[in-house]
């Protein structure tokens, strides 16, 4: 039986402060943007939805927001124990709603008004601890988001996000890849990473398909050095790993036999120079077409 003047224990505050929670308490829980007092430490998804006034129950979803930014759905008949570690806050959604967003060039339909930074990274398929997340803001500076941030997708316009590998080596970080480049690479299905060494920035394309039957391997990583001022300034040569030999004559292609040491590996330099570059129009797609042509025509 509830005492006449019970003291309600704020779960969200407790989670932030690392306070232990026991069952012999009355609880204050947060659902969406409101707080509610409850006397039972165990509630079902249906009870949480009723408490927050969501009707009809079967057209709504309720999620537990985890401290690391993740979401965990609570089914209507599932019981959540408020005394368990990590229980902090609940969010409800209209299950019939659909929101559009773009992450790293891929269009996604998301069935909830809110999404966390962590969930966006998970959708993008990147390591949440190694990649930074940015919200694209047209006409202004982009906004960096952290795992715990909650983003409202109901705002007008198509939301766009992109991920960039986070740089943690002091003095070795370089610029992020332009958004247009990221979008192109994502849409074309390239796997890639940015690399930095001694003030140089490069993009490494992973396991690129080579022209069939032309080389002694079928796949290779392609390294493209990005000069200061890119994309206004043009990339020049490109580099391959492993080193490529032409099947027809068992030798390296012409002007492709000089090594480059980068990030502890020895790359095969392809001396193919670029004399024409249109600042503001050309990008990584231009360079990749040059690489494709060079690989197809090498002799």
Helix or strand or coil: residue 172?
coil
pLDDT-derived band of residue 170, with 50, 70 and 90 as boundaries? Answer: very low
Tell me the pTM.
0.46
Q: CATH 3.10.20 spans which residues of the chain?
A: 8-94, 99-165
In this predicted structure, what is the pLDDT of residue 171?
39
Q: Which fold has domain 99-165?
A: Ubiquitin-like (UB roll) (3.10.20)
**CA-CA distances (angstroms) from residue 283 to 16, 27, 288?**
45, 56, 9
Helix (H) or strand (E) holding 133: strand 131-135
In this predicted structure, what is the pLDDT of residue 3?
47
**Is a pLDDT exceeding 60 seen at residue 1?**
no
Closest CA to 184 of 169, 165, 162: 162
**Is a pLDDT exceeding 90 seen at residue 159?**
no
CB neighbour burial string for 75-112, b if at least 16 within 10 angstroms, e if fewer: eeeeebebbeeebbbbbbbeeeeebebbbbbeebebeb
Q: How much is the mean pLDDT over the chain?
A: 83
pLDDT: is 85 or 267 the higher one? Answer: 267
pLDDT: is 129 or 25 the higher one? Answer: 129
**CA-CA distances (angstroms) from residue 31 to 35, 53, 129?**
6, 10, 28
Assigned architecture for domain 8-94? Roll (3.10)
CA 221-225-230 angle, 5° bins: 135
**Is a pLDDT exceeding 60 seen at residue 4?**
no
pLDDT: is 46 or 137 the higher one? Answer: 46
Q: Say if residues 222 and 232 touch (Cβ distance below 8 Å).
A: no
Give the tens place of pLDDT for each residue, 62-112. Answer: 888 776 666 778 889 999 888 877 666 888 877 777 788 888 888 887 877
In the chain, what is the straight-line distance between the N-terminal and C-terminal CA atoms, in Å? 87
Helix, strand, coil in percent for the chain, rounding step 5 = 15, 35, 45
C-alpha 195/C-alpha 93 separation (Å) is: 40
Give the tens place of pLDDT for each residue, 14-71. Answer: 666 666 666 666 788 889 888 898 888 889 999 999 999 988 888 888 888 776 666 7
C-alpha 182/C-alpha 89 separation (Å) is: 34
Q: Say if residues 143 and 162 touch (Cβ distance below 8 Å).
A: no
């Amino acid at each position: 039986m509830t005492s006449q003047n019970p003291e309600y224990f704020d779960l969200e505050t407790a989670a932030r402060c690392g306070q232990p929670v026991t069952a012999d308490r009355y609880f204050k829980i947060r659902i969406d943007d409101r707080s509610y007092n409850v006397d039972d430490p165990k509630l079902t998804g249906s009870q949480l939805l009723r408490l927050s006034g969501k009707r009809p129950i079967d057209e709504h979803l309720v999620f537990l927001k985890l401290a690391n930014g993740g979401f965990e759905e609570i089914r209507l008949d599932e019981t959540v124990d408020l005394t368990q570690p990590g229980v902090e806050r609940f969010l409800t959604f209209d299950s019939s709603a659909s929101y559009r967003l773009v992450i790293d060039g891929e269009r996604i339909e998301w069935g909830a008004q809110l999404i966390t930074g962590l969930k966006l990274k998970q959708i993008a398929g990147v390591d949440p601890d190694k990649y930074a997340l940015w919200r694209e803001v047209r006409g202004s500076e982009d906004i960096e988001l952290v795992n715990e941030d909650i983003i409202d997708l109901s705002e007008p316009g198509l939301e766009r996000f992109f991920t960039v590998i986070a740089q943690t080596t002091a003095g070795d970080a370089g610029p992020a890849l332009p958004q247009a480049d990221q979008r192109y690479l994502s849409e074309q299905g390239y796997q890639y990473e940015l690399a930095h060494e001694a003030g140089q920035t490069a993009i490494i394309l992973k396991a690129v398909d080579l022209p069939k039957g032309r080389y002694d391997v079928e796949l290779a990583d392609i390294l493209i050095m990005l000069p200061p001022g890119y994309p206004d300034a043009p990339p020049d040569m490109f580099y391959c790993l492993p080193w490529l030999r032409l099947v027809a004559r068992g030798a390296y292609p012409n002007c492709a036999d000089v090594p480059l040491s980068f990030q502890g590996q020895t790359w095969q330099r392809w001396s193919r120079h670029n004399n024409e570059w249109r600042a503001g129009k050309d990008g990584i797609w231009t360079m990749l077409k040059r690489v494709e042509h060079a690989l197809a025509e090498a002799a």
